[in-house]
Structure 1
């Protein structure tokens, strides 16, 4: 009886362990790692990226957002500007200052507009990056692991692949997608190389063509990289992958692909950050496809995502 019980228990543990292992893989940076591809930041790579500054110019990669900016439902933003303790012509006397001032109150989802997706954003079968269990990290007050506040400043070489140019049109259509062959062809034609630690951005023309003129259509669909393309790009070990679209992957998804499964491939399986709604249009218009990328996001403890405005230096 005792032997049978121990055998059954051993089998149960073996089954549970094999099932758990099948749902996640320990990070190549160690079982305790929380920053994934940010481990690729180094003084050497930063100095190399700085050499890409040829004209002394800078460009914001974030878009301007407000309460009317469309977002993945139910996300929204509300801003109020207030003048505390100044009703009825009162003057502020705190700290000996008898003047007047404005302050602002912001109620918002931080996954709106230009944003970074942290490694705790999308997972699969209850697990996130580096085998982080949703039951252990997903507190209502903030992630207990994988929070975006942990991410060091992302600094490195960035490249833009103009997929709209590759397909010979101003902008790709919703649901239009590209994979390894198209990415390689576009890179070769445009003289773009991609390497470990790079930030790789795809220009589809979607935001330039749709956000202002048809915001409802803009957020209802998008072109993007398919699952095969995501696995290819992940194999290059970039620091981050982004696009001028609100979700990076195509909506509707490519036939046979899971919806937003590229997020799982990049975030959960490889620890690679995603950058959404990147303002690539102005850089493409200037013929810039390689530059120094600098991002220091707001460090609110436990966040899953964060509104960002990376800077392109070229």
Structure 2
């Protein structure tokens, strides 16, 4: 763009007849591997800590709960391989898991989940579907049930994530509310969500516990953040 140079105008305030080109960017932030901040999903016009949408949601960005205020996330991370637990490489669209399946998979795989952990799920969805059927990959996914989100929140982790674009099962399990796991984790409990966390390579290295390090871009007022987390093991 050429700011304030329409119709052949020149910038005389420079002390000379100046002209220049500049950039403006409009894009979705919530793409690829991403962090969902606490201002992403709410209910009844409210977000985490009872903040009203009228108070924090401005066209220029969130005035509170923006991801620029999220501190670096560093902690113990664990992977629960739900695909392996179900005896398949890739879970199906809409296939879901709750507390019963999570507990059984964790016990079978020797994974413990504690307060402050980053809990990640492997469904095989991204590795198995992103390139072969991108339309299906982006319109549906296996994932968490509403009840499963309540169970995970009770463990008080730092964050919950998966190798899918939205964590919750889509289409939702019968009787579940769509993306209500987001409401439970973000709004009700202040637990961050991590999406499109492709943990398949870690599992193939025999790793299901590691040090998780994430520093997000500090674009002021953002609801989500494109991230490149590091696994140390």
Secondary structure of the residue aligned to 2:174 is: coil
Alignment pair present for 1:236 and 2:155: yes
Instruction: Provide the rounded CA distance (Å) in 2 between the counterparts of 1:280 and 1:235.
Output: 24
Instruction: Provide the rounded CA distance (Å) in 1 between the counterparts of 2:116 and 2:216.
Output: 18
Post-superposition offset of 1:123: 0.2
Post-superposition offset of 1:295: 0.3
Larger Rg: 1
Secondary structure of the residue aligned to 1:108 is: coil
Post-superposition offset of 1:286: 1.2
Q: Could you list the per-position Cα deviations for residues 55-110 of structure 1 after superposition, in whole angstroms to 9, with x for gaps in the alignment?
A: xxxxxxxxxxxxxxxxxxxxxxxxxxxxxxxxxxxxxxxxxxxxxxxxx9854210
Instruction: Provide the rounded CA distance (Å) in 1 between the counterparts of 2:169 and 2:100.
Output: 17
Instruction: Provide the rounded CA distance (Å) in 1 between the counterparts of 2:94 and 2:141.
Output: 6
For 1:214-293, what aligned pairs fall within 5 Å after superposition?
A: 214-293=133-212
Structure 2 unaligned spans of 5+? 1-22
Instruction: Give the number of the structure whose residues are more often helix, by fraction.
Output: 1
Q: Which one of the candidate residues 140, 145, 159 is aligned to 2:64? A: 145
Structure 1 unaligned spans of 5+? 1-103
Post-superposition offset of 1:114: 0.8
Q: Which one of the candidate residues 194, 202, 206 is aligned to 2:113? A: 194
For 1:71-90, what aligned pairs fall within 5 Å after superposition?
A: none
1:167 corresponding residue in structure 2? 86
TM-score norm. by structure 2 comes to 0.89
Q: Which one of the candidate residues 103, 110, 116 is aligned to 2:35? A: 116
Instruction: Provide the rounded CA distance (Å) in 2 between the counterparts of 1:252 and 1:220.
Output: 9
Instruction: Provide the rounded CA distance (Å) in 1 between the counterparts of 2:198 and 2:24.
Output: 26
Secondary structure of the residue aligned to 2:76 is: strand
Secondary structure of the residue aligned to 1:267 is: helix
Alignment pair present for 1:136 and 2:55: yes
Instruction: Provide the rounded CA distance (Å) in 2 between the counterparts of 1:208 and 1:202.
Output: 13
Instruction: Provide the rounded CA distance (Å) in 2 between the counterparts of 1:229 and 1:166.
Output: 16
TM-score norm. by structure 1 comes to 0.66
Instruction: Provide the rounded CA distance (Å) in 2 between the counterparts of 1:171 and 1:106.
Output: 36
Secondary structure of the residue aligned to 2:173 is: coil
RMSD over aligned Cα atoms: 1.3
1:86 corresponding residue in structure 2? none
Secondary structure of the residue aligned to 1:212 is: coil
Alignment pair present for 1:203 and 2:88: no
Count of paired positions: 212
Instruction: Provide the rounded CA distance (Å) in 2 between the counterparts of 1:223 and 1:164.
Output: 10
Alignment pair present for 1:155 and 2:74: yes
